[in-house]
Structure 1
Amino acid sequence: MTDFQNLSEDELQAVILNAEKALKAKQANKRKEVMNQIKELAASINVAVEFIDDEKKSARKGIKVPVKYRHPNDPSKTWTGRGVMPKWLQSLVEQGHDRSEFEID
């Protein structure tokens, strides 16, 4: 077994990635085996089996939401308008500004 204490961070990350890939491959193979067994059992009693692939990723996952608000003095500070309002915008609103002043056209 490998002594993980003596590995660098990059080497540890590589070990983790390889282990995750190996685990996913084993799980996929096991799933295929079980599905084949189910198909064989179903065929033995003249029943058709159809599997629905629920592993497809959501079409919305990973879609970037456009920026809706930008800090007037620091353009690197932005907000999409979703989730918790950032502190920079919160403080400006508390100072009496309207949120719509910082909307991007």
Structure 2
Amino acid sequence: MSNDLKSMSRKELEKLLADVKKALVAAQARDRRAAQKAAEKAAAEFGFTLNDLSETAPKTRKSPTAKKKPAKPSKPKYANPADASQTWTGKGRQPNWFRAEIEKGTTPEGMEI
């Protein structure tokens, strides 16, 4: 079946596209059935069913919809002696007030909460 696409109207092209899509779906279903039969035959040679194999198959990939638990905020470990509302967990970059207190000679243990 040879079609000259340039001479076809838009409606004819759309019908052809719809027919091709239907044929692709049918071919995929046919291939799936053939693969299923081949897999069942291969599993049967070893005395298993496909259900037996799918239950024991190791799960190697995480679900793309799996969500991570939100990280818990760390508790503050240090407080500014001049202003107790300024705190720092001891993680990440040191705040300016912490560095200034260290330069003054205050020990980190002296600022612990």
User: With structure 2 as the length reference, what TM-score do the two structures score?
Assistant: 0.43
User: With structure 1 as the length reference, what TM-score do the two structures score?
Assistant: 0.46
